[in-house]
Amino acid sequence: MHLLQWLAVTVPVGLASASASAEAHPPPPHRPPPPHHGHHPPHAEFFNRPIFTPPQGTKASYPRAVELSDGTILATLSWSDPNTKLPYFPIFQSKDDGWTWEHISNLTDDVNGIGFGAQPALYELDFALGGYPEGTVLASGNSADNFSTNIDVYASLNKGRTWEFVSNVARGGRPNTTNGADPIWEPFFLPYGDTMGVFYSDQRDPLHGQKLAHQESTDLRNWGPVVNDVASLNYTNRPGMTTIAHIPTVDKWVFAYEFPPAAGGINWFGNEYPIYYKVANNPFDFRYADGTPLVGGESTGNGSPYVVWSPVPGGNGTLIVSDADNQELWTNEFVGRPDKWEKRWQPGKPAYSRALHVSRRDPDALFVFSGAMFDDEEDGPPVPFVVTKLSVRKLLDGWYDFFEDQ
């Protein structure tokens, strides 16, 4: 996991109360242009369309998005508003397949008094759980300061316009990526059956410098014991940044993560954070699966992977993986077979912890959400939060290669 530069701007001085309502803070400045009133086909493609541009001196990264059952898309990312004492996650909404966006609320820390500084997560319940009905939107992130890291769950009953605190999943020590420190990082929601899992990176185990783990709940309030997903016998290993996708045609689950070679990973290409993955029958049992390096196109990704699956073009569909440094994506049409990864160019800009999403209504539509690169400076030119909409078929056919040299 990368050293978290966000601490310098997100750790508040003192404490302040925070409200989880949409009115808690003014909308972020520099909102995207107003909607264009012409007709746009629902499956039109577009490249790097702006959602939000942070003001000079701030940096917006680590985007996350969820498509709701009515077709609405919600998106957020990590950003520190210079006009507020505490950081929050701005929530943006699109009602037209990602073409235009509206800022509708802010997810604020309502219990710790320290704000939400990094690593947001979003999910819509497709079943009732813990008294929350189907269609409830869940959100999480890392509420952190110089003393603690906290993974909390919030819920919205009105599609992201207001939020209420639900529970704390886990607490760790202050942000510190040194082995021997005890913070937690990077939550990711995934249910299985009638149980919700929250997956995260964990430095609290004295047997592991960092491991990947999850906790489970059947009511969103009480969370079970920590279950290891990737935990190496070598203490110095630091796997990080869990994302998971389901392949329904074979009922398999794919778990993507970074595995730094300096701490024991295999690295043929000189990347600091090469991408690994696991395949399992049950997303709560990845501890029994072996990790495999993702290699395709004579290269591998570098850090913060994001994996999704599309049924296109048929058969067992396509796994698609993003990383932090490359503009290209990696695809696999053979249920993750190690020798079948292909590197595919596409126009969505590279970014730290770039997020992918396959449309629920049109599985040929792939969204790529991008913010700043990890090494982008806050005092440099503002880097907008953008979204690209692609065709999976065209990606597989190499159609976007035409734009590579443009």
Q: What is the pTM of this model?
A: 0.90
- Distances in Å between the Cα of 385 and the Cα atoms of 3, 26, 147, 180 are 21, 18, 30, 35
- The pLDDT-based confidence of 43 (bands split at 50, 70, 90) is low
State how beta strands 329-332 and 342-344 pair: antiparallel
Checking if the pLDDT of 38 tops 80, the result is: no
Q: Structural domains in the chain?
A: 7-403 (2.120.10.10)
Taking residues 12-17, report their average pLDDT: 31
pLDDT at site 35: 38
Residues with Cβ within 8 Å of residue 60, at least 6 apart in sequence: 52, 54, 77, 78, 79, 371, 372, 383, 384, 385
Q: So what's the pLDDT on residue 5?
A: 40
Q: Which of 46-55, 78-87, 162-171, 253-262 has the lowest mean pLDDT?
A: 253-262
| Confidence band of 264 (pLDDT split at 50, 70, 90) | low
pLDDT at position 269: 72
Integer Rg of the chain from CA? 20
Place 287 in a pLDDT band, splitting at 50, 70 and 90. Answer: very high
In the numeric block, the tokens 């059952």 are attached to: 69
User: Per DSSP, what are the bridge partners of residue 213?
Assistant: 200, 228
In three-state form (DSSP H/G/I as H, E/B as E, the rest C), the secondary structure along 76-121 is: EEECCCCCCCCCCEEEEEECCCCCCCEEEEEECCCCCCCCCCEEEE
Per-residue b/e over 64-89, b at no fewer than 16 CB within 10 Å? bbbbbeeebbbbbbbbbbeebebbbb
pLDDT bucket at 184, cuts 50 / 70 / 90: very high
- Residue 402: its pLDDT value, please? 80
Of 359, 374, 343, nearest to 308 (Cα)? Answer: 359
